[in-house]
Chains A and B, each alone.
Chain A
């Protein structure tokens, strides 16, 4: 039941925030925050349950809920959570809370409707991370899309209509291909076994003719790599991120992109192992192109938010590399990157938002010398710029190091090119620091340093990014066993040396 509760709390919270808005818009924020906090409590209580932790180590489904929904068509309401989805749900709730807090003063119009959209996006994302029925998965996939469209379209910046439409068309086109693939898989499986079902656990191991497997896989793949995004399917991202309100950017970068990665991990790899093998070389090359291309594009930008948006493309290249490298270490690294990038890039978007709220521009040409005026904001921004360039000590380093280390054994040449991302990320990250925070302060800029609310929020993010950088093991050991047996049907053929190591702890 806990899985349904997590989603329902957010759906109801959103409706409640919307209704109270007519009387008191502040109450809408509080309701939204309370709903997320409640969710987080429920999840924490679940995570720290000792019986759950031993289940995590087995890599099993920790909790499952399955009810017939449209039995005539083989559609069921099937939710389940393993270590991987647990980590992603935790990330969703953390960034959800951060999104509410960072919008506290930024969003002043239609506050209730804003929080309705926000919470429904999050509910959709939770659904995506928890669904084990492909029809249900598709349902949630669309559920998170529509409110996000509104979020950009209503509360976005200057060019919001164009950006929201572009976002919608790109993801919708990808989603359509996925729907076709889901249906094809459904019919192939039905024809073969006689049971027509959308249930993931039953569909696993469907025998497909190689050609069909390839095309069906391609439909899923394109939907997910548009979302991730992978060059050349990325052009929706900079516009959507730049024009969205801060909370929208945080959720886009921190969570929506990650649904693409999750889709690859949960569906593409386990459902089509053979077809994936035929395409993995292409994906690896695309990942390297993304790492380099995104970083070079980022450096060229003068709009600070657009710059941060392009860095996501570069960072997501590491996720793609980790997923298709075919090594367990790299796979764990990809999950680390999902979490670390969610926090660090989310924080950078919040910093841009805070700057824009103060000086009403995102143009770096009009910034400079912030360090002397707003030391606290600047110090925090420096921390996340460093996290973004993969400085050891932060989660991003653990992620990129594991991805590259794991990939090297399989694909040395690809890895060497990907490693150039370490230099390129330093170039754009330090460029931000120089243009915005160092240098002489521009005349007439009026800045106020962070408020208590902002400081606490950023402190929480710093603690998380540092914690997963120095103590990544709880995270790795939560998601790791589930990665070892994606779908919990077949175990990957990787050598397993990961279970031990516990004895070294003091």
Chain B
């Protein structure tokens, strides 16, 4: 007997309590239940983790089956959780970051009338996310997968009175559901061919049954990739994430940065065997990742809304994870997932403090000079930014991004082009990140500070700032200490990455280049947005510059394209067929009947002469017919 199920069940319990009686509870009780349930779940997770590390279980996995769920021909999926190194890392990040964000929210949301509703949804989210990562079969994973999508929808549209938020929420749900449907079809395909949906058995069966590059494997991997693209906001399904910023900032931090949007990365890592059997799809993953990280990076460069900068940055960083997955650097992808969860949650929470302090203003260019007024926020935000920009040696982001870039270069399936894309992306990342820092925190102050964060908001920032630095020291390259705690821990799950080791010298040279790229990006941001802000303005005002800016600002026109291609035709069809043209076919039969009736009833004149005439004509006609036929 183990208590694994408590990890997802505790947040669910919090949700049920809040959903049923939340409105009648005081705010402090709501906060207690909402943050407490996730806190408890975190405690269980940490205790489980300690047990897992001190006495590793056989096969490196613990299973906890609750009950049999459905019944298919030859296979019955269960409500069953399994903990292995991969899910353990996910669980720890979700519960720890999740708890910190809940703690932060108890203060951030304190003036909101939907206080209990907020925590109910957040708890439901954490429970679903934990179910997703702990599920031992793809059906249960799908339950968590849809559950987090639901919570994302509910929380993006949390301030439901504004239809704009509702639209953003629906967009997020429907776009991701398109991906989810592809994934569901992938599940059908896997089940039809392999007869199970248990992840372990599935991977083994696929390995045995399908040769590398077999059509079925390629199709299955491509369909799962569809789900991952939607959830993780990658090309071409990335359009929903920037609009998702309509939700409260802690939601953006938890769901749209740290956890849910990385579910796609988890899915691919979890089913990596399948992707290894489908090299074409795996290459697609790498290419999509590289393209997405660039496209989103350029869009982040020109945003004015601080949350939209972070949103595009998230898309871009997940692009890095996809790049890593695509070149087979599984543990590097998970490593970047972890460090990204820390620093991006930190940045979002910092942005939340800023927005609250600036009268709900989101436009960075209306802010400024906050460095002095919000010192703790400034320093933690700076640490987060440094980590996002991969500032060499001292930040977690450096170690994870460097690992990805290095493996994109050195892995057999990597290459110069992918690596160059990653490097260019790193350069852009530094620019947009420090553009944000300089515009928001430096320069002259433009607005009074209306709200100063209390300890429940500052503490999570501090803790996440610490993680954003030390989180990287669990995995350091050969050239710098050679620590491999993280990848060794994941060893049982992932195959050893075949590295075309080009020697320590090359690796060192590579790191120096990557470091210089990061630093020069910061320097460019410094020049453009601190030393002489005029230059940036001039650039943006030139006719070509303005066009490019608009194009990038709108996210490369994808929204426009989809509206023309899909939304408008759908609306048009729905509108013209509102009254169901099939029904009018039946209506035609009915009115034909009525017409005939009208004509025939005219013959009923009541005049004997007409009737007699009719009989005579009828008799003549019939006699005529008889004569003719003979």
- The chain A residues found within 8 Å of chain B, CB to CB, are 231-232, 234-235, 238, 296-297, 299-302, 327-329, 332, 369, 371-372, 375, 379, 386, 391-393, 397-398, 401-402, 404-406, 408-409, 412, 415-416, 419-420, 422-423, 426-427, 430-431, 434, 437-440, 470-473, 476-477, 480, 494-498, 501-502, 504-506
Contact B68 A505 (CB under 8 A): yes
Stretch with Cβ within 8 A of A (4 or more), from B143-151, B466-474, B512-520, B531-539: B143-151
Given A434-B170, A439-B166; A477-B71 close (CB under 8 Å): yes
Contact A504 B188 (CB under 8 A): no
Stretch with Cβ within 8 A of A (4 or more), from B52-60, B87-95, B176-184, B599-607: B176-184
Q: Which of A430, A497, A504 contacts B153 (CB 8 A)?
A: A430
Contact B163 A504 (CB under 8 A): no
Residues of the A chain whose Cβ atoms lie less than 8 Å from the Cβ of B583: 235, 238
Residues of the A chain whose Cβ atoms lie less than 8 Å from the Cβ of B167: 434
Given A391-B150, A422-B181; A495-B73 close (CB under 8 Å): yes
B157-185 Cβ-contact flags toward A at 8 Å (1 or 0): 10011010011011001100110110011
Provide 16 A-B residue pairs closer than 8 Å at the C-beta atoms, listed in order of the A residue.
A234-B582, A235-B582, A235-B586, A238-B580, A297-B574, A372-B161, A392-B146, A393-B147, A404-B184, A408-B188, A408-B189, A426-B174, A472-B69, A480-B71, A497-B74, A497-B75
Contact A423 B174 (CB under 8 A): yes
Give min CB distance, A373 to chain B, whole Å: 12
B133 within 8 A of A: no
Given A235-B582, A375-B23, A423-B181; A501-B68 close (CB under 8 Å): yes
Contact B185 A501 (CB under 8 A): no
Contact B163 A438 (CB under 8 A): yes
Q: Which of B71, B146, B178 contacts A391 (CB 8 A)?
A: B146
Contact A297 B181 (CB under 8 A): no
Given A375-B23, A430-B153, A439-B163; A300-B70 close (CB under 8 Å): no
Contact B184 A427 (CB under 8 A): no
Contact A301 B578 (CB under 8 A): yes
Residues of the B chain whose Cβ atoms lie less than 8 Å from the Cβ of A301: 578
Residues of the A chain whose Cβ atoms lie less than 8 Å from the Cβ of B70: 398, 401-402, 472-473, 476
B48 within 8 A of A: no
Quick one: which of B23-77 are within 8 Å of A by CB? 23, 65-76
Residues of the A chain whose Cβ atoms lie less than 8 Å from the Cβ of B582: 231-232, 234-235
Given A404-B184, A423-B178; A386-B150 close (CB under 8 Å): yes
Q: How distant is the Cα of A208 from the Cα of B575 in the complex, in angstroms?
A: 48
B628 within 8 A of A: no
Residues of the B chain whose Cβ atoms lie less than 8 Å from the Cβ of A497: 73-75
Contact B166 A297 (CB under 8 A): no
Contact B578 A415 (CB under 8 A): no
B500 within 8 A of A: no
- Nearest B residue to A420 via CB reads B181
Give min CB distance, A446 to chain B, whole Å: 19
B191 within 8 A of A: yes
B187 within 8 A of A: yes
Residues of the A chain whose Cβ atoms lie less than 8 Å from the Cβ of B139: 401
Given A419-B184, A434-B166, A471-B67; A408-B577 close (CB under 8 Å): no
Q: Which of A409, A412, A498 contacts B71 (CB 8 A)?
A: A498
Residues of the B chain whose Cβ atoms lie less than 8 Å from the Cβ of A480: 71
Contact A371 B73 (CB under 8 A): no
Residues of the A chain whose Cβ atoms lie less than 8 Å from the Cβ of B509: none
- Nearest A residue to B576 via CB reads A300
Max chain A Cβ within 10 angstroms of own Cβ: one of B67, B71, B191, B575: B71
B540 within 8 A of A: no
B142 within 8 A of A: yes
B78 within 8 A of A: yes
Contact A401 B160 (CB under 8 A): no
Given A369-B161, A419-B181, A439-B160; A235-B573 close (CB under 8 Å): no
Residues of the A chain whose Cβ atoms lie less than 8 Å from the Cβ of B192: 408-409, 412
Q: How distant is the Cα of A174 from the Cα of B574 in the complex, in angstroms?
A: 29
Q: Which of A299, A327, A372, A416 contacts B185 (CB 8 A)?
A: A416
Give min CB distance, B302 to chain A, whole Å: 30
Q: Which of A300, A431, A476 contacts B577 (CB 8 A)?
A: A300
Q: Which of A332, A416, A434 contacts B163 (CB 8 A)?
A: A434
Quick one: which of B186-237 are within 8 Å of A by CB? 187-189, 191-192
Residues of the B chain whose Cβ atoms lie less than 8 Å from the Cβ of A371: 160
Q: How distant is the Cα of A386 from the Cα of B74 in the complex, in angstroms?
A: 29
Contact B74 A404 (CB under 8 A): no
Residues of the B chain whose Cβ atoms lie less than 8 Å from the Cβ of A415: 185, 188
Contact B161 A440 (CB under 8 A): yes
Contact A422 B73 (CB under 8 A): no
- Nearest B residue to A375 via CB reads B23
Give min CB distance, B135 to chain A, whole Å: 11
Residues of the B chain whose Cβ atoms lie less than 8 Å from the Cβ of A501: 68, 71, 76
Q: How distant is the Cα of A297 from the Cα of B577 in the complex, in angstroms?
A: 7
Q: How distant is the Cα of A149 from the Cα of B136 in the complex, in angstroms?
A: 51
Q: How distant is the Cα of A231 from the Cα of B580 in the complex, in angstroms?
A: 11
- Nearest B residue to A500 via CB reads B76
B459 within 8 A of A: no
Q: How distant is the Cα of A472 from the Cα of B68 in the complex, in angstroms?
A: 9
Max chain B Cβ within 10 angstroms of own Cβ: one of A328, A406, A420, A506: A506
- Nearest B residue to A392 via CB reads B143
B19 within 8 A of A: yes
- Nearest A residue to B159 via CB reads A438
Max chain B Cβ within 10 angstroms of own Cβ: one of A392, A412, A419: A392
Given A406-B73, A434-B163, A494-B73; A473-B68 close (CB under 8 Å): yes
- Nearest B residue to A497 via CB reads B74
Residues of the B chain whose Cβ atoms lie less than 8 Å from the Cβ of A299: 570, 574
Contact A504 B78 (CB under 8 A): yes
Contact A426 B577 (CB under 8 A): no
Give min CB distance, A242 to chain B, whole Å: 12
Quick one: which of B71-108 are within 8 Å of A by CB? 71-76, 78-79
Q: How distant is the Cα of A419 from the Cα of B79 in the complex, in angstroms?
A: 24
Contact B170 A430 (CB under 8 A): yes
Residues of the B chain whose Cβ atoms lie less than 8 Å from the Cβ of A477: 71
- Nearest A residue to B157 via CB reads A438
Max chain B Cβ within 10 angstroms of own Cβ: one of A393, A401, A406: A401
- Nearest A residue to B66 via CB reads A506
Q: How distant is the Cα of A471 from the Cα of B180 in the complex, in angstroms?
A: 23
Quick one: which of B262-317 are within 8 Å of A by CB? none
Give min CB distance, B287 to chain A, whole Å: 25
Give min CB distance, B155 to chain A, whole Å: 13
Max chain A Cβ within 10 angstroms of own Cβ: one of B67, B73, B74, B170: B73
Q: How distant is the Cα of A426 from the Cα of B175 in the complex, in angstroms?
A: 10
Contact B73 A329 (CB under 8 A): yes
Residues of the A chain whose Cβ atoms lie less than 8 Å from the Cβ of B187: 405
Q: How distant is the Cα of A495 from the Cα of B192 in the complex, in angstroms?
A: 13
Q: How distant is the Cα of A418 from the Cα of B589 in the complex, in angstroms?
A: 31
Residues of the A chain whose Cβ atoms lie less than 8 Å from the Cβ of B580: 235, 238, 297
Given A401-B184, A408-B192, A440-B161; A300-B166 close (CB under 8 Å): no
Give min CB distance, B162 to chain A, whole Å: 8
Residues of the A chain whose Cβ atoms lie less than 8 Å from the Cβ of B577: 296-297, 300
Residues of the A chain whose Cβ atoms lie less than 8 Å from the Cβ of B72: 329, 402, 405-406
Q: Which of A296, A472, A506 contacts B65 (CB 8 A)?
A: A506
Residues of the B chain whose Cβ atoms lie less than 8 Å from the Cβ of A412: 188-189, 192
- Nearest B residue to A298 via CB reads B574
Contact B163 A422 (CB under 8 A): no
Q: Which of A234, A393, A426, A438 contacts B161 (CB 8 A)?
A: A438
Give min CB distance, A410 to chain B, whole Å: 9
Q: How distant is the Cα of A299 from the Cα of B573 in the complex, in angstroms?
A: 10
B564-607 Cβ-contact flags toward A at 8 Å (1 or 0): 00000010011101101011011000000000000000000000
